[in-house]
Amino acid sequence: MTSISHIWNEHKSRLRGYVARRVREPDVVDDILQEVFLKAYENLHSLKVRGSVASWLYRIAANVIADHYRSQKSWSELPEGLAAPEHKRDPVAELATCLQPLIDDLPETYREALTLSELNGLSQKEVAVHLGISYSGAKSRVQRGREQLRQRLHDCCVIETGQHGIVSYEPRDKRCNEECS
């Protein structure tokens, strides 16, 4: 592979023009150009295709310019009396706390298959091997376990869904409210 000094000499003047059109201070242009050279030197090993050297250098330059402008952002102190935003309710996270008691209440055959599949991340084939049953038997147990869990969740809570999933929920009775707390 070609050395970094050869690559740099070939592209330096065009890179300088590229940076100068985007940054007005001449001293900063030189600093950014030096930073581009250092990043190119440090990451030359990651360049896989020789023909992409120019675009790779311009991408580095664009990133260094963006970093420069990000670091120049002025930050102002927030007023003392500024209140923190209200905590937004996350119904999905709240309902997740309800799931374990409902799973624990399932019949053992479905609870075990559902736990292995959904909570432990095993494939249904792995569930079948683990439980010593056929693949179709494992699929049936997981599917029935999901359906029973879904039904218990709906028996416990009124769930409102929207375009992006669960929007809100309300417990149907006091017992459900205690399980979800």
> What would the pLDDT profile of 63-112 be if each residue is shown by its tens digit?
999 988 888 877 777 777 777 777 677 777 777 777 888 888 899 999 99
Nearest Cα to 114, choosing from 127, 95, 132?
127
Q: Where are the domains of the chain?
A: 4-70, 91-179
Statement: the pTM of the whole predicted model exceeds 0.85: no
For the chain, the C-alpha Rg in angstroms (whole number) is: 29
Q: What is the pLDDT of residue 33?
A: 92
Q: Is the pLDDT of residue 59 over 50?
A: yes
At the top level of CATH, the class of 4-70 is mainly alpha
Task: Report the alpha-carbon distance of residue 16 to residue 36 in Å, rounded.
Answer: 10
Q: Write out pLDDT tens, residues 162-181.
A: 887 888 878 877 666 555 55
Q: What is the pLDDT of residue 88?
A: 74
Q: What is the pLDDT of residue 1?
A: 47
Q: Which fold has domain 91-179?
A: Arc Repressor Mutant, subunit A (1.10.10)
Q: Write out pLDDT tens, residues 26-49.
A: 889 999 999 998 888 888 777 766
Q: What is the pLDDT of residue 78?
A: 73
Instruction: Please report the sign of the dihedral spanned by the C-alpha atoms of residue 163, residue 167, residue 173, residue 178.
Output: positive
Task: Report the alpha-carbon distance of residue 36 to residue 68 in Å, rounded.
Answer: 12
Q: Write out pLDDT tens, residues 126-163.
A: 999 999 999 999 999 999 999 998 898 888 888 888 88
% the chain with pLDDT above 90: 26
Q: Is the pLDDT of residue 124 over 60?
A: yes
Report residue 162: phi and psi, to 5°.
-130, -165
Three-state secondary-structure class, residue 157: strand
Task: Report the alpha-carbon distance of residue 7 to residue 37 in Å, rounded.
Answer: 10
- How far are the Cα atoms of 13, 39, 40, 61, 70 from residue 22, in angstroms, in the given order? 15, 19, 20, 10, 14
Task: Report the alpha-carbon distance of residue 8 to residue 16 in Å, rounded.
Answer: 11
